[in-house]
Amino acid sequence: MKIFNAAQIQALDKETVSNQYISSFKLMERATTKVFEKLQTRYKLYQTSFVIFCGTGNNGGDGLTLARLLKEGGAMVKVFLVQTKKYSPDNAQNQDLLEDRDINVEKFNTKSKLKVKKDDVIVDALFGIGLHSPLDEEWRPIFDFLNETPCLERVSIDMPSGLLADVTTPIEAIVFKADVVYTFQLPKTALLLSDAKEYVKELEILDIGLDLDYIESTKSDAYFVEQEKVRNLVKSGTKFSSKDDFGRVILIGGSKGKIGAMTLASKAAMNTGSGIVTTYVPNCGYTILQTAIPEVMCDTCAGEDYIKVFPSVEHYDAVGVGCGLGLHKDTATALVTFLKDNKDKKLVIDADALNIISEQKCLDKVPVESILTPHEKELKRLIGEWDNDFDKIDKVKQLAKKHNVIFVLKGAHTITIAPDETIYFNSSGNWGMATAGVGDTLTGMITSLLGQGYTSKEAAIVGVYLHGLAGDIAIENIHPHSLVASDLGKNISSAYNQIAL
């Protein structure tokens, strides 16, 4: 699924109206009906009271339409409408339709005193994607009230009012804090970034039937990865496949007290489909690996507690390095030598290997088309501080292009950034995955896919999505608080099965 900027979305609306021979009013009705259907599922309408705050434009028109639909559906509804001399035509038309619906419509301004009950659902339909600059300070008392007053839940239509779609929203800006955002047709970049976590606790994308030809023909460098995209990339075997057809991979890492990281990565590589997995660890990890995973071959180096020398990887299809590796100076020296000696071998680089590369300032030694999987702190060590998420993405894009490598920025919507400057936001995963070892599992999965013949970009996209989906399947039976990394490995098979449906 493509991600469009605000101007492209507005053009898409116009193309839909023109090509489908419908009015913008009818398109508004279609879109808002989708929101109504979601609210109908989320709440018992006959027992729920909605207070809808509507602006002067078409986002306000959405709110007015929703008020009518909710009233017809049996809910209690009150509308607060921003007072002005001029409303958009569709907004005005929807106001006319409310006159005989027994809906209380009260006009207000930035100095008005508002009332909301603690069991009301507040619906934000004040400002949409057309906002190009932060809200004026005069709106702060209203938004302080909307964000702080006790209520059942807070809902935004399309965008939380005050949040800018395509550029960073200043920290001090006035923004509605939504519990759930129902956005139309395509996600907006700001809704997927961690900078917006205070304003977007839950996001749902509603297909409202906008013009598919325009979507297909309009260029975008940003994508939201969903199941269909991954289904089209996943490879399968045949009756006559052998283990060599599924790749030989080696995972290098581990140190005293951190062999568990290698166990998780190795299991994940096997469960993702590698034909042969070899794990290279210091001597202290040999018995652990051989006992925990009989399917994995285990090799060791001369070091007892940490890796002193890296192995030859000439005969492997993919290499994963870094899980539990540690930061001993001998290990760091060995890693730098390893990078210099294997310039033609694609690597998956994680954890302490990333930290060593940062310390040694040897990113230029990383082989092209390698995949780097940093979490936020590891990324800061690589690229330094950033001002905001848009700045972070720009910096990583430049680095990915310069060094011809793939970056996987782990987070709520893990972001894959390729050397061609395309960006892929992941749609799977949940907050229960914020736990130790989950990154090691991802490293094993991506390494496995790289070894099976996927391109670096494909391995990253598919691995990240499968990883998140395994986590989503796991919490069907396990509370997110109780989720551990090994639960993901156990559900990789179920994730494959779900993708195949």
Please state, in angstroms and rounded to a whole number, the distance separating the CA atoms of residues 446 and 271: 11
CA dihedral 91, 93, 98, 100 (to 10 degrees): 160
Q: Is 62 annotated as a binding residue?
A: yes
Q: Which residues contact 118 (CB under 8 A, 6 or more apart)?
A: 150, 151, 152
What Rg, from alpha-carbon coordinates, does the chain have? 26
Contacts 24+ apart (CB under 8 A), 115-119: 116/51, 116/145, 116/146, 116/149, 116/151, 117/49, 117/151, 118/150, 118/151, 118/152, 119/49, 119/151, 119/152
**Token digits of residue 114:** 């508002």
Q: Is 389 annotated as a binding residue?
A: no
282 within 8 A of 303, measured Cβ to Cβ: yes
> Residue 108: how many CB atoms within 10 A of its CB?
15
Q: Is 131 annotated as a binding residue?
A: yes
Q: Is 134 annotated as a binding residue?
A: yes
Q: Is 133 annotated as a binding residue?
A: yes
Q: Is 427 annotated as a binding residue?
A: no
Please state, in angstroms and rounded to a whole number, the distance separating the CA atoms of residues 431 and 443: 19
For residue 423, what are the β-bridge partners? Answer: 222, 417
Q: Is 413 annotated as a binding residue?
A: yes
Q: Is 489 annotated as a binding residue?
A: no
Q: Is 440 annotated as a binding residue?
A: yes
Q: Is 414 annotated as a binding residue?
A: yes
Q: Is 334 annotated as a binding residue?
A: no
Residue 435 phi/psi, 5-degree rounding, is -150, 155
3-class SS of residue 361: coil
Amino acid at 277: V
E strand or H helix at 228, and its extent? helix 227-233
Q: Is 315 annotated as a binding residue?
A: no
396 within 8 A of 360, measured Cβ to Cβ: no
Q: Is 373 annotated as a binding residue?
A: no
Q: Is 326 annotated as a binding residue?
A: no
3-class SS of residue 143: helix
Q: Is 420 annotated as a binding residue?
A: no
What are the DSSP E strand ranges found in 322-450? 347-349, 371-372, 406-409, 415-417, 423-426
How many residues are there in the chain?
501
Contacts 24+ apart (CB under 8 A), 11-18: 11/214, 11/218, 12/185, 12/186, 12/210, 12/211, 12/214, 12/215, 12/218, 13/210, 15/210, 15/211, 15/214, 16/209, 16/210, 16/211, 16/214
Instruction: Report in angstroms the alpha-carbon separations of 87 from 59, 125, 334, 462, 482.
Output: 11, 14, 68, 46, 51
Q: Is 161 annotated as a binding residue?
A: yes
108 within 8 A of 80, measured Cβ to Cβ: yes
212 within 8 A of 185, measured Cβ to Cβ: no
- Can you say which residues are annotated as belonging to the binding site for (6S)-NADPHX? 58-62, 128-134, 158, 261, 324, 375, 440
- Can you say which residues are annotated as belonging to the binding site? 58-62, 124, 128-134, 158, 161, 261, 324, 375, 410-414, 439-440
- Can you say which residues are annotated as belonging to the binding site for AMP? 410-414, 439
- Can you say which residues are annotated as belonging to the binding site for K(+)? 59, 124, 161
